[in-house]
Each structure stands twice: as structure tokens, then as C-alpha cells.
Amino acid sequence: MKKFLLALCVLTACTHATTTTTAAGPIAPVPGKTPAPAPAPVRSGDRLTGAATPKAAVTAFLDAVKAEDIQAMSVIFGTNRGPSRDNMDRDELEKRLVILQCYFTHDKFRILDETVGEGGHRVVTAELTRGSNTRTPKFYVIGGPSNRYYVDNMEIAAVRDFCRK
């Protein structure tokens, strides 16, 4: 309970802006020198959702698959509206992520390239290896809120045999 209260106090303190004052009053920003504030990033707890780049989104998604971490997958799998866990029925999302985890389970992967796709997507091709099998599925990544990227879709057919036992 003490840790919870301490965390709450720290979070509360972090959310309040401070203004420095001098005898003459508040310090005004220098015109043309202060950047405009960025929109608030989409967060999950204390973590940002999505990724900074399309390749980073695919890397985070595949790392979460390998770790069998459905929660981590749910903050990187999404649409232009943000993570699917915020825009989808929870049961439906969990079912989809379990299926995706089966298909995309791998021993190792590497990102091969990134190209421009349709409808604002970036297409990231990855090489996945499972046992002696290597496949190169495409991942379709879309920009979302706060300039974050989300894995929107992927080529399941390319890794169909990864899910068979």
C-alpha cells in the first residue's frame, strides 16, 4: 500500500506543470525558439504504445510473440486509431492474438526491408526462422496517434506451416 501511495504521489507530481518566476514575473518563452508542444502520446500504464518507426513496430511485435506476451502484443497490434486493445472487444482481441502467436512463433527473425504500401501503410518484410524452416512474411504497419506505428496486418499464409504440429 505504501508503494502504491508513493507511486501515486510521484505520478501526481509529474503531471503538474511548474512555472519559473523572477522578480519581474514569469519567464516567457523566446519567440521562434520554443517548439510547439507535441500531442500527448498514447500510453499503456507507464509505457508508450505502438513504436517510433514501422521497423520498430514489427520488431516489438515479433519480440512479444517470441516471449509469448499477449499484453505486449496488444499494445503494438493496432490501427490508425491506436492499439487494438483500446479499440476492440477484449475477448475477440485475445483470440486473434493467440492465433497470431501460433503462426508467428519463431526461433529468430531479422527485418529485411521496408517499403511504401497502400492506404498510408508501410510494408515491412521480415525473415522468420523456426527450426529448419525460413519464411518471409510481410507486415503492414500504419501510423497512429502521436506519430506512433502499429502492426495492422500481416501475411499469415507465408507462415501457415509454422502453426501446424
* Cell numbers linked to 148: 506512433
> Which amino acid makes up residue 57?
A
CA dihedral defined by 115, 121, 127, 131, rounded to 10 degrees?
-170
Per-residue pLDDT, 144: 95
DSSP 36: P
Per-residue pLDDT, 38: 39
Q: Kindly list the domain boundaries of the chain, sorted by start residue.
A: 42-163
Q: What is the mean pLDDT of residues 84-91?
A: 91
Cβ neighbours of residue 16 under 8 Å, at least 6 residues apart? none
φ/ψ of 86, rounded to 5, equals: -95, -10
Q: How far is CA 33 from CA 17, 30, 37, 152, in A?
A: 20, 5, 12, 37
pLDDT > 70? residue 63: yes
pLDDT > 80? residue 146: yes
> Which amino acid makes up residue 52?
A
Residue 87's pLDDT band, with cuts at 50, 70 and 90, is confident
Most confident of the following: 27-31, 40-44, 81-85: 81-85
* Of 157 and 34, more confident: 157
Question: Is residue 140 within 8 Å of 121, Cβ to Cβ?
Answer: yes
Domain 42-163 matching CATH 3.10.450.50: the answer reads: yes
Residue 107's pLDDT band, with cuts at 50, 70 and 90, is very high
* Cell numbers linked to 61: 511485435
Listed in sequence order, the DSSP H helices in the chain are 2-15, 54-66, 70-74, 90-104
Report how far residue 109's alpha carbon sits from residue 139's, in angstroms, rounded to the nearest whole number: 13
Predicted model pTM: 0.72
Per-residue pLDDT, 132: 95
Q: What is the mean pLDDT of residues 108-135?
A: 96
pLDDT > 50? residue 135: yes
